[in-house]
Amino acid sequence: MKLHHLLQQRSALLQQTRLANVAFAFAELGRFAERIERGRLRGQVTLHLADPAAQREWPTLVADEGSQAVIDEHFLDHEIVELADLLGFTVGPEPRQAFTFRLEEFDARFRTALREELEASGVELPGATELTEDRNHE
């Protein structure tokens, strides 16, 4: 491949990369939404992002309502890190220290804009079971 050909494709490749990242975030947040629904988790939580200045080296998910033990039971530390990354990508580059949300509104709050962007780009979205099957084949 010649350099000038690759440079000519740059804009389209960047657009495809963005779309692939949106699709990945949509699917992964769907897994979190399914877990929340399966566990019948409810109530307000706050996802505090890592902040070394506040002596918080890792993101933490804190139950503002309900039992912290239930949250700890459903989400491992590395999953909370992944969730923080996904939510950061989803809401964009605006700096923030935390995300506060109701668990029962998770899907609608964080996946709606991703779904709309994918659909506007002509991406066919599979049903929830198809996403789970795709994930199991990786």
The pLDDT-based confidence of 33 (bands split at 50, 70, 90) is: very high
Read off φ and ψ for residue 58, nearest 5 degrees: -130, 155
With pLDDT > 90 as the criterion, what percentage of the chain qualifies? 72
> pTM to 2 decimals?
0.83
Complete DSSP assignment for 66-120 = S-HHHHHHH--HHHHHHHHHHHHHHH-S---SEEEEEGGGHHHHHHHHHHHHHHH
Query: Which residues are CB-contacts of 36 (< 8 A; sequence separation ≥ 6)?
Result: 74, 103, 104, 106, 107
Over 70: is that where the pLDDT of 114 sits? Answer: yes
pLDDT of res. 105: 96
Over 50: is that where the pLDDT of 129 sits? Answer: no
For the chain, the average pLDDT equals 89
Over 90: is that where the pLDDT of 6 sits? Answer: no
Average pLDDT value for residue range 75-99: 92
Question: Which amino acid would we find at residue 70?
Answer: V
Which range has the worst mean pLDDT, 11-15, 50-54, 70-74?
50-54
Q: Which residue has the higher pLDDT, 9 or 138?
A: 9
Average pLDDT value for residue range 22-32: 96
